[in-house]
Amino acid sequence: MALARKHGCSDTCIGKRLHKAEGIVEGMLMMLGVRLEMDRYVERELPGGRTSVFYQRKNSLRS
């Protein structure tokens, strides 16, 4: 609520902006190949309904 008041918009608007920013940061980290500790526990949904876990993809390159 405080962010919404500060920026003069609704909570929904703030949520959408934060979601967009998270997507941008995630995309940049993926492009740079940065691995986060949480990547071991989080699945990402890919286009077409497939899922991928970042560390599994990295490990499969070693085989």
- Gap between the Cα atoms of 63 and 40, Å rounded: 19
- The per-residue pLDDT for 1 is 78
Task: Output the pTM of the full model.
Answer: 0.56
Q: Which residue has the higher pLDDT, 33 or 46?
A: 33
DSSP letters, the chain, are -HHHHHHTS-HHHHHHHHHHHHHHHHHHHHHHT---GGGGT--EEPGGG-EE-HHHHHHHHH-
- The per-residue pLDDT for 11 is 94
- Gap between the Cα atoms of 55 and 33, Å rounded: 11
Percent of the chain with pLDDT over 90: 40
- The per-residue pLDDT for 21 is 95
pLDDT digits (tens, 9 = 90+) for 19-43: 999 999 988 988 998 888 877 777 7
